[in-house]
Amino acid sequence: MMNDPMTTAKAHANLALVKYFGKRDVPLNLPAAGSLSLTLAPLTTTTAVAFDEALKEDEIVLNDAPASAAFAKRTRRFLDLVRDRAGVRSGCRVRTSNNFPTAAGLASSASGFAALALAATRAAGLALTEPELSALARRGSGSASRSVPGGIVVWHEGRAADGSDSFAQSILDHSQWDICVVVGIASEEKKAVGSTAAMTRTATTSPYYPAWIDACRRDLALAQDAVVDRNFTALGEIAERSALSMHAAALAADPGIVFWTGTTVEGIHLARTLRKRGVEAYFTCDAGPQPKLVCLSKDVDAVKNALETLGGVLRTITCRLAGPASLV
Ligand code: PMV
């Protein structure tokens, strides 16, 4: 285990159609309600890990440069969970890279902690089941639980105080539906408010927060039915209202949390205009300004062309469903 070549894993980002935005336990990243997401190619984090007794402290490299203090601290804390579980005491070398912008509302923490969970547990000699790995990845970032399985994924709210039943599972294999997502990159800046701070402020100050959590539970059940029925219209409508409701709750926090720019709002109107023209596209957006349009593969060129001509969109990334986190 020690000093051996690095263990490398890759994991994909994910996009929630029924959003997670609220925690019932902050240290354990336990969600106030379940969520549903698409695991997305080509958005990938690749992470190589080796434990090495010669290392005095962990060495963390992100995108070929030494990681920032904040990134290194978060990574170290996660490695401590793995060390505790495996009974390993040595330092760790981590090299991680994303093939998409870091921390711009594209869930790089999701793919990042999913890849780190798999690479680090294997490097430490542990062989976790997929639910165990998902629950562990959740400790790094809630949405990372959803980047462990592939295809269409449900992250269970769970009941257990220790979080052991709050993990994500695939409900549809990635080969079973040709759903696509076109991400409009409106900004490559880091987001202004981190998701945990935004969730806490929304939970404690937004008058809409209890209604938002009720809506999540209803929408999760409906979205699962829509996936079973392959009803894209139903799933798209749920996705658009879940995103708008999440942002409505955050906008009503005190002080209000505004992830959107003008380009984001134009993206909402674009989805509606496209639908009137017979192109079935639905808007969604996370803790950043990027408008994301969900469609079926037959419409992906029309959606991409329309999003690329929207003012403020620098470029687009077209995504399709991806498989689970895996060793390289
Ligand atoms: O995993 P976190 O703590 O970065 O939270 C992500 C939350 C949203 O992206 C805004 C919504 C979601 O369900 O992914």
Residue 33 falls inside a structural domain: yes
Pick from 173, 194, 219: which residue ends a domain?
Answer: 173
Judge if 165 and 16 occupy the same domain: yes
Residue 1 falls inside a structural domain: no
Judge if 231 and 112 occupy the same domain: no
For residue 327, pLDDT beyond 70: yes
| Distances in whole angstroms, Cα of residue 131 to Cα of each of 64, 128, 142 | 31, 8, 14
Res. 187 pLDDT band, cuts 50 70 90: confident
Judge if 247 and 109 occupy the same domain: no
Residue 79 falls inside a structural domain: yes
Res. 189 pLDDT band, cuts 50 70 90: confident
CATH of the domain at 35: 3.30.230.10
Judge if 159 and 243 occupy the same domain: no
| pLDDT cut 90: percent of the chain above it | 92
Judge if 311 and 209 occupy the same domain: yes
Judge if 156 and 202 occupy the same domain: no
Evaluate: CB of 147 within 6 angstroms of ligand 1.
no
For residue 103, pLDDT beyond 70: no
Evaluate: CB of 142 within 6 angstroms of ligand 1.
yes
Instruction: Flag the least confident range among 135-139, 183-187, 206-210.
Output: 183-187
Res. 188 pLDDT band, cuts 50 70 90: confident
Number of domains in the chain: 2
In this structure, the dihedral spanned by the alpha carbons of residues 29, 31, 36 and 40, taken in order and rounded to 10 degrees, is: -20
Residue 301 falls inside a structural domain: yes
Judge if 128 and 24 occupy the same domain: yes
Q: What per-residue confidence (pLDDT) applies to 193?
A: 85
For residue 47, pLDDT beyond 70: yes
Pick from 173, 208, 224: which residue ends a domain?
Answer: 173
Residue 326 falls inside a structural domain: no
Closest of 44, 33, 18 to residue 241, by C-alpha: 18
Closest of 108, 135, 110 to residue 121, by C-alpha: 135
Evaluate: CB of 264 within 6 angstroms of ligand 1.
no
Closest of 24, 32, 17 to residue 244, by C-alpha: 17
Evaluate: CB of 286 within 6 angstroms of ligand 1.
yes
Question: Could you tell me the residue range of the domain that residue 95 belongs to?
Answer: 7-173
Q: What per-residue confidence (pLDDT) applies to 240?
A: 98
Q: Quote the ligand 1 centre to 224 CA distance (angstroms).
A: 19
Contact 24, 158 (CB under 8 A): no
For residue 306, pLDDT beyond 60: yes
d(CA 275, CA 281): 6
Judge if 158 and 219 occupy the same domain: no
Evaluate: CB of 16 within 6 angstroms of ligand 1.
yes
For residue 48, pLDDT beyond 50: yes
Pick from 130, 157, 173: which residue ends a domain?
Answer: 173
Residue 55 falls inside a structural domain: yes
Helices (H) and strands (E) in the chain, counts: 8, 14
Judge if 78 and 185 occupy the same domain: no
Residue 327 falls inside a structural domain: no
Prediction pTM value:
0.96
Judge if 186 and 297 occupy the same domain: yes
Q: Quote the ligand 1 centre to 81 CA distance (angstroms).
A: 21
For residue 191, pLDDT beyond 70: no
CATH of the domain at 265: 3.30.70.890
For ligand 1, pick from 12, 17, 18, 21 the residue to mutate: most ligand atoms within 8 Å of CB.
Answer: 21
Q: What per-residue confidence (pLDDT) applies to 4?
A: 58
Judge if 131 and 196 occupy the same domain: no
For residue 68, pLDDT beyond 50: yes
Judge if 139 and 210 occupy the same domain: no
Residue 328 falls inside a structural domain: no
